[in-house]
């Protein structure tokens, strides 16, 4: 990792991390690590391999040998494949999110994915999006953000996204799911979702994405990273 700058963007789902990380990596011309996708693919791989999310040793084996690839599609979107099979859509469903959150609570799964996440750290730099990027995976990162927003606001954003994709969803159900997932992610024994001590916390509840990005860029400039 020595010498390659890393910017970490942690926070709960729906806080805008994915969008901000994407915009930032593109703006800087740096690599992007979507660590949530690795947990999502692990959950999906279990479904494909017939492994129960509760069978910790078997899930750990799946994570250890995860044959995953990230490529860029024609429209600039990121395509995720497991054993060469496109799972980009499957991992983004609500079930995909539940699987990710369940397998992510298993300590040996987190260990198995640690080295793989650090491999993304290559010149000229890395933007790392997740829950424990600043606390566990890249604790020495020179710049760390923690993006958050109220559960209600995050549920509404997710609702709009899913409706736009043509999925039928209920807002109260989404809010419940988000609250449950927050609870699981922040109370788990390993790598709970908490801001790093040196993270800059941004609450985006009442802030449009362009404003959040502007604030992020200002911090990046102040750090001398651009």
Q: State the nearest-atom distance from the C-beta of 99 to ligand DC, in Å.
A: 9
Which phi and psi angles does 25 have, rounded to 5°?
-60, -40
Which of 90, 100, 141, 178 forms a contact with ligand DC (CB under 6 A)? 100
Token pair listed for 17: 């991390």
99 closest CA partner among 41, 177, 172? 41
Nearer to ligand DC, 4 or 78 (CB): 78
**The one segment of 64-72, 78-86, 129-137, 210-218 that binds ligand DC by CB under 6 A:** 129-137
104 binds ligand DC (CB under 6 A): yes
**Which letter, b or e, does each residue of 146-155 get, where b requires 16 or more Cβ atoms within 10 Å of its Cβ?**
bbbbebebbb
Position closest to ligand DC via CB: 36
Interaction of residue 130 with ligand DC, rule CB under 6 A: yes
Strand 78-82 with 68-72, pairing = antiparallel
Instruction: For the chain, give the longest Cα–Cα distance.
Output: 49
Q: Are 20 and 212 in contact (CB under 8 A)?
A: yes
Shortest Å distance, C-beta 68 to ligand DC: 14
Which burial class, exposed, middle or buried, applies to 43 when counting CB atoms under 10 A from its CB (0-12, 13-18, 19+)?
A: buried
Which of residues 111 and 221 has its CB atom nearest to ligand DC in the complex?
A: 111
Say whether residue 101 binds ligand DC (CB under 6 A): yes
* Span interacting with ligand DC, options 77-85, 94-102, 149-157, 208-216, rule CB under 6 A: 94-102
The residue within the footprint of ligand DC, chosen from 30, 39, 82, 146 (CB under 6 A), is 39
The tokens 């799972």 sit on which residue? 87
User: Residue 92 Cβ, how far from ligand DC at the closest point, in Å?
Assistant: 8
The residues binding ligand DC (CB under 6 A) are 13, 35-36, 39-40, 97, 100-101, 104, 130-132, 181, 185
């Amino acid at each position: 990792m020595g010498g390659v700058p890393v910017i970490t963007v942690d926070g709960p789902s729906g806080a805008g991390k994915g969008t901000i990380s994407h915009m930032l990596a593109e703006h800087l011309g740096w690599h992007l690590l979507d660590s949530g996708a690795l947990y999502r693919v692990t959950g999906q791989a279990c479904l494909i391999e017939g492994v129960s999310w509760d069978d910790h040793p078997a899930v750990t084996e799946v994570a250890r040998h995860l044959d995953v690839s990230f490529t860029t599609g024609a429209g600039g979107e990121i395509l995720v494949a497991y054993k060469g099979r496109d799972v980009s859509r499957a991992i983004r469903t609500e079930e995909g999110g539940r699987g990710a959150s369940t397998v992510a609570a298993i300590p040996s799964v987190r260990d198995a994915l640690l080295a793989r996440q650090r491999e993304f750290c290559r010149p000229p730099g890395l933007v790392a999006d997740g829950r424990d990027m600043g606390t566990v995976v890249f604790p020495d990162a020179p710049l760390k953000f923690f993006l958050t927003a109220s559960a209600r606001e995050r549920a509404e954003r997710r609702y709009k996204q899913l409706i736009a994709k043509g999925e039928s969803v209920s807002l109260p159900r989404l809010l419940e799911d988000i609250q449950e997932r927050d609870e699981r992610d922040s109370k788990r024994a390993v790598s709970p979702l908490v801001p790093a001590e040196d993270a800059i916390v941004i609450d985006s509840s009442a802030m449009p994405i362009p404003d959040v990005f502007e604030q992020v860029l200002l911090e990046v400039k102040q750090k001398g990273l651009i």
